[in-house]
Amino acid sequence: MARTFSIHALIILLIALQFSSYFNTCSASRKSHSNEYLTNQEYIKNSCRGTTYPKLCLKSLARHASKIKADPKLLAHAALNTTFFAAKATSKLLAHTSKVHGLRPNEAAAMVDCIADVSDSVQKLQKSIKEMDRAEGSDLQVQMNDIQMWVNTALDEEETCMNALANKAIRSKVKRGVRRRVVKVALLTSNALNLVKSFALAQKN
């Protein structure tokens, strides 16, 4: 009877040790992932300090920390992607707003101009993302120059749209929501351009 009890006790002890080892491993793994996440967040935060709008930069990119890690190319790529999707959504909003009944002729004309400007911006950002995907090797600096040129052109297009919407003849209720969205896209584009430039500069050194 005593021998049976000892065997049962030994089995229970072994099971307890296995569980303890498992939970310690899980705890260490969680701690490692947590530390890595905080490191990635800190990298994005530090990188965003070099942009024109650091708070917006951090807010827009923090969610991608696990993908970006501490890679400047992935950071610039994520910034371009974020800006592209924001510009695309804004382009759709402009198209919808232009179809609203009751727009005055000058308001409708401003919307048409803005749609063209933001659509051009979306195309330039898309080209930049595709080029960023294959940017490497001996052609890297040429590719980065092209990307900077396209992103800069996208920013110019967005600013042209903002200027059109700033027209005093356009009623505030028409331009308020739309212009706010276009301004945000322009700020994101400016930040993306800063991060692209930082990556390109780092590759020269």
Q: What is the pLDDT of residues 187-200, one digit of tens each?
A: 999 999 999 999 99
Could you tell me if residue 200 is inside a domain?
Answer: yes
Could you tell me if residue 111 is inside a domain?
Answer: yes
Predicted confidence at residue 6, as pLDDT, reads 67
Please name which of 181, 152, 151 lies closest in space to residue 165, comparing C-alpha atoms: 181
Answer yes or no: is pLDDT of 146 > 80.
yes
Q: Which two tokens stand for residue 196?
A: 């692209």
Answer yes or no: is pLDDT of 34 > 60.
no
Could you tell me if residue 133 is inside a domain?
Answer: yes
Predicted confidence at residue 88, as pLDDT, reads 97
Q: Averaging pLDDT over each range in 12-16, 150-154, 177-181, which range is the top one?
A: 150-154
Predicted confidence at residue 55, as pLDDT, reads 97
Could you tell me if residue 22 is inside a domain?
Answer: no
Could you tell me if residue 155 is inside a domain?
Answer: yes
Predicted confidence at residue 198, as pLDDT, reads 95
Residue 161 contacts residue 118 (beta carbons within 8 Å): yes
Can you give the residue range of the structural domain that contains 73? 54-204
Answer yes or no: is pLDDT of 20 > 70.
no
Please name which of 82, 22, 81, 75 lies closest in space to residue 44, comparing C-alpha atoms: 75
Number of domains forming the structure of the chain: 1
CATH number for the domain spanning 138: value is 1.20.140.40
Please name which of 162, 196, 185 lies closest in space to residue 87, comparing C-alpha atoms: 185
Residue 129 contacts residue 147 (beta carbons within 8 Å): no
Distance CA 98, CA 46 (A): 40
- Per DSSP, the three-state class of 136 is coil
**pTM (whole model) above 0.85:** no
